[in-house]
Structure 1
Amino acid sequence: MDLDRRGGDSADLLLPLWRALIVFRVITWGFACFGVWTRWTGIHNPSGAVLQLAIMGVWTVVASIGYSRHWGRRNTRLAVADLVVTVGCMYATLLAQPLLDIRAGASVLTSVWAAGPVIALAISRGRDGGLIGAATISLALLSLRGVDNTAKILSNVQLLLVAGLVVGYAATTMRRANVRLREAIAAESATAERLRLSRSIHDGVLQVLAQVQRRGNAIGGEAVELASLAAEQEVALRSLMAARPVTEQRGQADLCGALLPLATTRTDVVVPAAPVLLPVGVVDELVAAVKEALSNVGKHAGPGARCWVVVEDLGADVVVSVRDDGAGTTQERLEAAHAAGHLGVSQSIQGRIADLGGSVTVRTAPGEGTEWEMTVSRA
């Protein structure tokens, strides 16, 4: 598990932001200490200021250790705790300065250090987290300064809001880029593995199957059936080698990659060069409908019939055609089959596409084969 975490952290694009936050925490704590030292004679209770700085220092160490570990970055618990402790440290200024002095112009001793949880929440939760952190710190500052001093703290509030927005937006953008990077790495690894396996299969299994096919046809008799089986397995393996990895990206999958494995010695699958991305559920239903259409070809088109599956990406619509050159039929026979309780056409094909909001067109005639045209909208 530790190795996995280190591997995941090395590819985490947000890691530099977390490291910058740690540096920011340490530096701003140093600024707070310097501010107390420069205003030492004006502080009402110096021992209270020292206690406050000590609490801030301890929490800076704890938060820095947490933000440098995987457990501190994987959820918002530490960032929320940071926000609570920071607000508490802001109110701890009352240990050093009376509330009347603070509202009269005395400094809140946390100074810029209080912006730490705003940045932490922006990194972990994006824009919304940053705004929540900025609003919380601003309200705490307003309660200490008083409503009469709203104009004086307006610039601080603006800086907090801008920090939350900018860092939150940057973190969200980097998080999305991180997801795409991981998907790209996974796809590249899968492609490399497929290429390695393809070379091994081509150098061994495919050559053996081709030799069995040639020798079986040459020998004749019962060996022809063995040659036919070898030819089917050769086509299946070649289709598997040429097929694209069916990877899901944000709820979408490539229809072409799902249909290519359906190719056989009697079925050709023709797809665009570019992926045709559709919701995963739509891809599953389309593949199921195509399989049912191919099943009908095997049952009714005749033993020598060939079949073609063609995918067309029309932008707003995607069209999948299943055509064969078999015996064909008539619309009357299709309606009669439905009336007799044979629901393969009406339920497995037309029903599936209708549930997706699409349409199905059937073109058939005796001796002219059958063509199914299934259209679904990306909308």
Structure 2
Amino acid sequence: MERETVDLLQPLWRALVVFRIITWGFACLGVWTRWDGIVRPTGAVLQLAVMGIWTLISSIGYSRRWGRRNTRLAFADLIVTVGCMYATLWAQPLIDIRGGASVLTSVWVAGPVLALAISRGRDGGLLGAATISLALLSLRGVDNASKVLSNVQLLLVAGLVVGYAASTMRRAGARLRSAIAAESATAERLRLSRSIHDGVLQVLAQVQRRGTAIGGDALELAELAAEQEVALRTLMSTRPAVADGDRVDLCGLLLPLATTRVDVVVPAAQVLLPAATAEELVAAVKEALSNVSKHAGPDARSWVVVEELGEGVVVSIRDDGIGTTPARLEQARADGHLGVSQSIRGRITDLGGTVTVRTAPGEGTEWELKV
């Protein structure tokens, strides 16, 4: 049901059904106005009957979800339409058609071009236009190619324009569905956040305060409560990472890294990056935080800050640990410790970015990753 409500292609399908019915009426009117010039009127009536029956069948199909989602109906429409074009031979000899007599299907033949354009985009529209144009050219003959050129141009333009519009609307529909899903997830998260805040978080905060006040063995319990409080708050504030196709929200990937010793600060708006780039950047941040826990000291705290600039994205990882010197970092690389050179510098360099590190004994360390 939700997909139907956000299917932006529905108006195009409905317009196609109306177009099919109206153009069949035009074909009937054309036969009526040329009645005296038709060699075999019975064949013309039979041809119109077949066209009418197929118009009814295809219109019902295009009005249903199965007909819109399954391109087999559009291809069947193309085959039947070409057959109806050749059915003009029931009413007029081929020599008369090549001599200037009308192909009785008239503009009704554009129906499958539009159907393929809506269902398969630009390529489908061009395929349908090319097939109808070749069929028309075979009926008119090569010698009359200049006379059908305007019809061919109109078919190609219709296939291109409608195909492009359908592809654009399909992408817009996918984005709209993603936005609706994100909005629903956000609303549910807010509802759960209120419940958690009124219950679990207050209890954890109380346990942390009481455990800290009591001290002793209760201090460990207080620390665990503090960690779980941060984890819950992070879960409540985390937003969906997937945003637009293969592009993801970097902030949504970094927010879960927050702990009692790690603060993650991100912009209010999404920071969209290609999925592969975001994954490598997050891996480099994790390695930097791992280095903090290993080498910065047991009481060190870290801050991860995301900034979106006009020409790129900068992620800063800063800690207040014991720090080091650039010479020691170089010596660590020479000794085979590849955490900095491979996991951080290597990843960012492969992305075409730059890495800057500032550190000094007693002043902590700050990494700046720019991509």
State whether TM-score is above 0.5: yes
Greater CA drift, 45-54 or 257-266: 45-54
Tell me how many residue pairs correspond in the alignment: 371
Q: Deviations over 1:46-72 (max 9, x none)?
A: 222222222222222222222122222
Answer yes or no: is the 8 Å Cα contact 2:243–2:272 preserved in 1.
Answer: no
Report the equivalent of 1:357: 352
1:151: how far off? 4.2
**Corresponding position: 1:35 with 2:30:** yes
Question: Which SS does the other structure have where 1:97 is aligned?
Answer: coil
Question: Which SS does the other structure have where 2:244 is aligned?
Answer: coil
Report the equivalent of 2:118: 123
Looking at structure 1, the residues matched to 332 and 127 of structure 2 have their Cα atoms a distance apart, in angstroms, of 63
Question: Which SS does the other structure have where 2:243 is aligned?
Answer: coil
Report the equivalent of 1:267: 262
Report the equivalent of 1:237: 232
Answer yes or no: is the 8 Å Cα contact 2:178–2:243 preserved in 1.
Answer: no
Greater CA drift, 7-16 or 88-97: 7-16
Looking at structure 2, the residues matched to 38 and 197 of structure 1 have their Cα atoms a distance apart, in angstroms, of 70
Report the equivalent of 2:279: 284
Question: Which SS does the other structure have where 1:264 is aligned?
Answer: coil
Residue type at the aligned position of 1:369: G
Looking at structure 1, the residues matched to 109 and 220 of structure 2 have their Cα atoms a distance apart, in angstroms, of 80
Residue type at the aligned position of 1:342: H
Report the equivalent of 2:65: 70
Match of 1:342 among 334, 337, 340: 337
Looking at structure 1, the residues matched to 118 and 312 of structure 2 have their Cα atoms a distance apart, in angstroms, of 39
Question: Which SS does the other structure have where 1:204 is aligned?
Answer: helix
Match of 1:220 among 211, 215, 218: 215
Match of 1:158 among 153, 158, 161: 153
Report the equivalent of 2:368: 373
Question: Which SS does the other structure have where 1:248 is aligned?
Answer: strand
Match of 1:305 among 292, 300, 306: 300
Residue type at the aligned position of 2:361: P
Question: Which SS does the other structure have where 2:153 is aligned?
Answer: helix
Greater CA drift, 27-36 or 199-208: 27-36
1:326: how far off? 0.8
Greater CA drift, 250-259 or 326-335: 326-335
Looking at structure 2, the residues matched to 350 and 309 of structure 1 have their Cα atoms a distance apart, in angstroms, of 17
Residue type at the aligned position of 1:86: T
1:90: how far off? 0.6
Residue type at the aligned position of 2:167: T
Looking at structure 1, the residues matched to 217 and 165 of structure 2 have their Cα atoms a distance apart, in angstroms, of 69
> Any residues of structure 2 matched to 1:15-34 within 5 Å, and which?
15-34=10-29
1:302: how far off? 0.9
TM-score, with structure 1 as normaliser = 0.92
Answer yes or no: is the 8 Å Cα contact 1:268–1:307 preserved in 2.
Answer: yes
Looking at structure 2, the residues matched to 313 and 345 of structure 1 have their Cα atoms a distance apart, in angstroms, of 24
Answer yes or no: is the 8 Å Cα contact 1:123–1:171 preserved in 2.
Answer: yes
Looking at structure 2, the residues matched to 362 and 162 of structure 1 have their Cα atoms a distance apart, in angstroms, of 57
Measured on the aligned residues, the alpha-carbon RMSD in Å equals 1.8
**Corresponding position: 1:329 with 2:319:** no
1:192: how far off? 0.7
**Corresponding position: 1:320 with 2:315:** yes
Looking at structure 2, the residues matched to 283 and 252 of structure 1 have their Cα atoms a distance apart, in angstroms, of 9
Match of 1:81 among 55, 76, 79: 76
Report the equivalent of 1:255: 250
Looking at structure 2, the residues matched to 226 and 286 of structure 1 have their Cα atoms a distance apart, in angstroms, of 34
Residue type at the aligned position of 1:74: R
Looking at structure 2, the residues matched to 372 and 166 of structure 1 have their Cα atoms a distance apart, in angstroms, of 50
TM-score, with structure 2 as normaliser = 0.94
Question: Which SS does the other structure have where 2:305 is aligned?
Answer: strand
1:130: how far off? 2.1
**Corresponding position: 1:99 with 2:105:** no
Residue type at the aligned position of 2:93: P
Looking at structure 2, the residues matched to 213 and 188 of structure 1 have their Cα atoms a distance apart, in angstroms, of 34
Instruction: Please identify runs of 4+ aligned residues in structure 1 that moved more than 6 A.
Output: none
Report the equivalent of 1:169: 164
